Amino acid sequence: MRKEWLDSLVKQMQITLKDLLVNCQGEKQAPDPLRYPSQILCLSDSITFTSKCEQAISSMTLPPLLAKYKVKTR
């Protein structure tokens, strides 16, 4: 009985986190940090960064992206 309950809880948590990530990624502007858990914000930012890097590498525009992030991290 407890194992089934825990399995159900884990499954629901996975669904909730997936839905939060999809919503966070769908935001047009920077997501509200009060609306999402920190792990979702970090994962969303990592996905966005990786996507931008992949696009810059494939289009051979990595130096401008690097310059943008250097300014952003100052």
Kindly write down the DSSP assignment for every residue of 44-60, as one continuous string: HHHHHHHHHHHHHHHTT
Which pLDDT score is estimated for 63?
95
In the predicted structure, residue 18 carries a pLDDT above the cut 90: yes
In the predicted structure, residue 17 carries a pLDDT above the cut 90: yes
Closest CA to 45 of 60, 30, 64: 30
- What's the mean pLDDT in 66-73? 90
In the predicted structure, residue 46 carries a pLDDT above the cut 90: yes
Secondary structure of the chain: what % helix, strand, coil (to 5)?
A: 75, 0, 25
Which pLDDT score is estimated for 1?
81
Which pLDDT score is estimated for 48?
96
